[in-house]
Structure 1
């Protein structure tokens, strides 16, 4: 029996599924089973999966149920003592499983491990790196404030804590990974592998129609999380909502850059500051104000040129001395 079960939900993933599987096959830790849940794909996903010659690969096809349902279905097929998830368009560095597993085995109390995330484009070129954070042990209060684990492609979890946490919420259309990690963090301590090991692919496909859906889901997760959070942590709610509105601002500035999107971005960053004034001291908030300033005083195309120029001159986080391939 494989020690680790890796679950990939796949829906119409023909452009990226083989690259994702290749990054898993390159793992330095090889005692795993790879479970792909075909979530009712109508493209060549299944055809491409049939070309993969690897006894560790198992493919199960279902009618489309959505990402949370696909992950839940994957869990029912998993036999490993540890379970990991990766979306069908993301990548891992070769040492991801090895180092996360070692971190868990060094801490008998820890139930889950996470690593840092770097963001890549469709050509797998580095866009920027997420902020390096070192939260360990009881990370529950930190996760209430912000989804610093970033995506559903990150954690490695002891199976017994998957069983006590329950299923991914199938009613959520977004942020289901944050909801799950909050509930998981209430069950067990976490450990961190302080390396960029998750490569999150950002698509250039239009997301304007999805931003409203994401906003609704994230607010739902926030409200639900604080409904069950203990009294002594309720003071974090305004900070959490401020970080949420800061995130919405970034979404609108990235995907809905028309006059309506810019107005919505302005409204949301103002709301973030009203909820938690200290957020203006964060570099992320200052970048947002700078972008909004450029968009208000320059024509759109010129403003975007400036934003891209300053983004290259002053990247969010630099990655030094680490290969991401």
Structure 2
């Protein structure tokens, strides 16, 4: 079984080396780490190239869009299983092996995360308690899916691509496709260290700043796109 890890990057020189170390160390010989760069102007590309690893495949987007940057990476994925990765996190050493156990039964899974700012020795769980965090309606109301912790089978990706133009975030779109067409599961244990530093590309773990109208429009566009894709 081949694994594709898809990462979107942009000016990530401060943190990307540790993340790449944590991912590459878990890959097998026939796996791949697909990186799509959105026009970095710092040392991000130099750091990536310094690994000199044939499993790392670098592509360029330049669309200035996190959604399109991830789509560019995902379009190149050849694996049976796809993992999503952010440039500034750090994976637990058992992330891939642990995730694959759940993917024997489910089509898409996502996990809890240890949130940290400066030192991974001081972390808090992103999600506490034992609540069920899957389900289409539940996630249309409030998205629980953490893109940086998601992994799914290639059959889900085939249905999700290409991304509709009106979706708000890629993780909500892919997970909604999986909710309708497959089986999903939340792993209530952290499998990544999720870094918060004020410049994250998404609002995961933070209170939304969107107005009520904006929130309703986001959900309407997602539901509309799902109907158009699946009907």
Normalising by structure 1, what TM-score?
0.59
CA RMSD of aligned residues (A): 3.1
For residues 53 and 204 of structure 1, what CA distance do their matches in structure 2 show?
31
Q: 2:192 aligns with which of 198, 218, 228?
A: 198
**1:153-186, Cα deviation, whole Å (9 max, x unpaired):** 11111101111123445555x5442243223312
Moved more, 42-51 or 211-220: 211-220
Instruction: Return 77-86 or 27-36, whichever deviates more.
Output: 27-36
Structure 2's unaligned 5+ residue stretches are none
Q: How far apart, in 1, do the equivalents of 2:27 and 2:44 lie?
A: 26
Correspondence for 1:182 among 171, 176, 184: 176
State the distance in 1 between where 2:207 and 2:92 align. 32
Q: Is the 8 A contact 1:11 1:41 kept in 2?
A: yes
TM-superposition CA deviations, 1:269-320 (whole Å, max 9, x none): xxxxxxxxxxxxxxxxxxxxxxxxxxxxxxxxxxxxxxxxxxxxxxxxxxxx
2:39 is aligned to: 40
Which residue of structure 2 lines up, in the alignment, with residue 95 of structure 1?
Answer: 94
Maintained 8 Å contact 1:29/1:95: no
Kept in 1, the 8 Å contact 2:111–2:191? The answer is yes
Partner of 2:218: 221
CA contact (8 A) 2:70 2:170 kept: no
Secondary structure at 1:203's aligned position in 2? coil
Counterpart pick for 1:162 among 149, 157, 178: 157
Bigger relative contact order, structure 1 or 2, given CA contacts below 8 A and separation 6+?
2
Q: Is the 8 A contact 1:116 1:132 kept in 2?
A: no
2:81 pairs with 1:86: no
Deviations 1:227-281 (CA, angstroms, capped at 9, x unpaired): 6899xxxxxxxxxxxxxxxxxxxxxxxxxxxxxxxxxxxxxxxxxxxxxxxxxxx
Which has the higher mean CA deviation after the structures are superposed, 94-103 or 119-128?
119-128
**Distance in 2 (alpha carbons) for counterparts of 1:89 and 1:54:** 20
Distance 1:181 1:11, change over 3 A: same
**In 2: Cα distance, 1:35 partner to 1:215 partner:** 31
Count of residue pairs brought into register by the alignment: 220
Deviation at 1:148, TM superposition (A): 2.1
- Work out the CA distance in 2 between the residues paired with 1:206 and 1:9: 12
Displacement of 1:99 = 1.3
Relative distance call for 1:8 and 1:111 in structure 2 (3 A) is same
Report if the CA contact (8 A) 1:4-1:84 is conserved.
yes
Match of 2:108 in 1: 112
Q: Secondary structure at the match of 1:77?
A: coil
CA deviation string 1:7-42 (max 9, x = no partner): 110011111111111111233877521011111111
Supply the distance in 2 between the matched residues of 1:45 and 1:111 (Cα, whole angstroms).
Answer: 32
Shift of 1:146: 2.3
SS of the residue aligned with 1:193?
strand
Q: Secondary structure at the match of 1:117?
A: strand
> Secondary structure of 2:75's partner?
helix
Alpha-carbon contact 1:23-1:91 (below 8 Å) kept: yes
Q: Which has the higher strand share?
A: 2
Contact 1:112 1:156 in 2 (8 A): yes
Retained in 2: the 8 A contact 1:135–1:192? yes
CA apart distance, 1:132: 4.2
